[in-house]
Chains A and B, each alone.
Chain A
Amino acid sequence: MDLSKLKQIDEWLWTVPRVPGEARGEVKMYGSRALLETMDDKVIEQITNVARLPGLVGPAMTMPDAHWGYGFPIGGVAAFDPEQGGIISAGGVGFDISCGIRCLRTNLELAEVAGELPSLARELSEKIPAGVGEEGDIKLAPDALDDVLTGGAQWAVEQGYGSAADLEFIEEGGRVAGPVPQNVSPLAKKRQRGEMGTLGSGNHYLEVQVVDRIYDAAAAQAYGLREGQLLVSIHCGSRGLGHQIGTDYLVSLAKAASRLGIHLPDRELACAPINTPEGQQYIGAMNAAINCALANRQILTHLTRKCFTRLLPRATLETLFDVSHNTCKREQHVVKGTKRLLYVHRKGATRAFGPGHPALPERYRATGQPVVIGGSMGTGSWILAGTATSETQAFSSASHGAGRAMSRKQALKQWHGRQLVDELARQGILIRTRSMRGVAEEAPGAYKDVDAVAEATERAGLARRVAFLRPKVCVKG
């Protein structure tokens, strides 16, 4: 990225200066100089375009892991007020609606089960459907799927996948309000028929991790973390249903925008005012997809538990937290001293409520929301805690992952999947996949430095570091 286009506010915050007469909102870009230098100039173009959308409240922002996306950049955050003509954008949510991470804490220590990890890797790779073309055992007819879309993880628990104790530690108690299954196309429902309880492919994964280092002892205690403990992170979303909703509405909203009087700087920002039938129709469909994703991760949690207890009967896996990072959510925020109900787009960005937020479960209320910055097979992940400053700076938002630094095409030129798998095995990380090409595209070196992202996230005041997790087993889609 050409940093001469930016103005540095402080070590961790930058802005894109407005030219005289330019009618757009403010832009804030979080991150260190080194992180921003790795970003494509397209990130500036995309977030500046977001700042031109109607009804924007506060700045359009990018998180430290931002990279070039479609519509919004990945790592983009923007809030809109429906009472001021604010919009909802399908390109601001993404195709993989409610993609997110379910993090489970186990009662196991790495030292005591290290010898079992190869068996566990085999069991997980055999029992967790992963990769393009892989279906799950649960086949739902479109009518039955409507119950998933309205019930979310609560539906899954009612079906016997996991326990009610999980629900307290999922955003919105495992079920977001306002789903409208009728707004989901028949093709979207058909695409989901065999995809409940599947991981998907690309950057999705199921990872067994060890708590390598605690950075905040009090927060770690609240989260039930200790060094040497095994955790599991499941990264996936709403699968085919969400993808089809994304494609359906990206086109229909792009067509609707001009009819609704919205001038789009780029039609990939396809959107509609929130308070229009078109906007409400997408919101109903998106909420249905969020529930689908929550149910999917709940089923995968159940399958993961079965794998663990089959090999390690004394294992327990409790839900630490489940957080989505491709959503638009209706939230109350204080803007210039006034409480306002806003629609906050987070595309490749995690919600990060600070201490005391009423939406947090009692156990975490004094600490702040667990935030997961997912890694890239070889480089580890971070657990952070939401901060009060994130509310004032970024509508309680933080980074969601390492963020790509290199295209898939470039990665394929640099790495071979088999060599990577062997190299990671030498480092004590077991990769299980059906796609060596996918492993090469997802090479750890194709991502930004996740440690730098976590540090920038903390230094910018978006969330504070609690623990660093090192991967031990990774099932890749």
Chain B
Amino acid sequence: MAPIASAVPPAVAGEGPLMSALRSIAPSGEDYFEHDADIGVVGRGATLEESFESAAAATFGVMADLSAVRPQRSVTLDFEEADVEIALVRWLNLLLGLSHEDGLVFCRFWIERDGVHWRGGASGEPWRRDLERGVEVKGATLTMLQVKQERDGWQARCVVDV
């Protein structure tokens, strides 16, 4: 099945079941690793899904200070993917595609998995002049791509092209 991505009407964080699932994660220096030209992002969480959400926050944290972004508009997406590492890349790239399509910067993320079916979303707001700009992320790559379960949770990482 081809990935489906759609914008949903503006919502306020905390309203409804969808928004209550959104996680707000502030990326820190620990969420990035070294790469010559680009940037490595690391997501960590108690579950696979949380590590994906954390990786999304790290990715968008390259572009903006997420603590200053307001969760005013939401988008949802879904796709099918059996390979969890490829799923991480597709998740990040779908979010990037949606953010660029609508001129949004996202600050909160959620994703669920049911076998090979993935369903997720994000919320944020249109870019505004007073948001401190970072560097645009062009896409998530397969470089240093890894999704693994560790003793204290899950880690999801890859290099993003900037």
Contact = CB atoms under 8 A, between A and B. Distances in A.
A35 to B, nearest CB: 14
Interface stretch (A80-88, A145-153, A389-397, A435-443): A435-443
B91 to A, nearest CB: 11
A201 interface: yes
A409 interface: yes
Given A70-B159, A251-B90, A255-B86, A437 B101 contact: no
A243 B34 contact: no
Count class of interface residues, chain B: 35 or more
Interface string A404-430: 101111100000000000000000000
B36 A68 contact: yes
A125 to B, nearest CB: 13
B140 interface: yes
Given A191-B97, A268-B142, A251 B89 contact: yes
A195 B127 CA distance: 14
Interface in B49-101: 63-64, 86, 89-90, 93-94, 96-98, 100-101
Contact of A408 (B39, B86, B93): B39
Nearest to B105: A133
A71 interface: yes
Interface string A170-190: 000000000000000001101
Nearest to A413: B29
Interface string A52-77: 00000000000000011111001000
Interface residues of A, number: 53
Given A40-B36, A191-B101, A95 B161 contact: yes
Interface string B11-53: 0000000000000000000001111111100000000000000
Nearest to B33: A409
Interface string A216-254: 000000000000000000000000100110111011001
A404 B37 CA distance: 6
Contacts of B94: 187
Interface in A83-113: 91, 94-96
A438 B134 CA distance: 6
A246 to B, nearest CB: 6
Contact of A477 (B97, B101, B127, B136): B136
B143 interface: yes
A339 B139 CA distance: 37
27 contacts: A42-B36, A68-B35, A69-B38, A94-B161, A96-B138, A132-B63, A188-B97, A190-B101, A191-B100, A193-B101, A240-B100, A244-B100, A244-B139, A246-B138, A247-B96, A247-B138, A251-B142, A255-B86, A270-B142, A404-B36, A406-B36, A407-B35, A407-B36, A435-B132, A437-B133, A438-B133, A477-B136
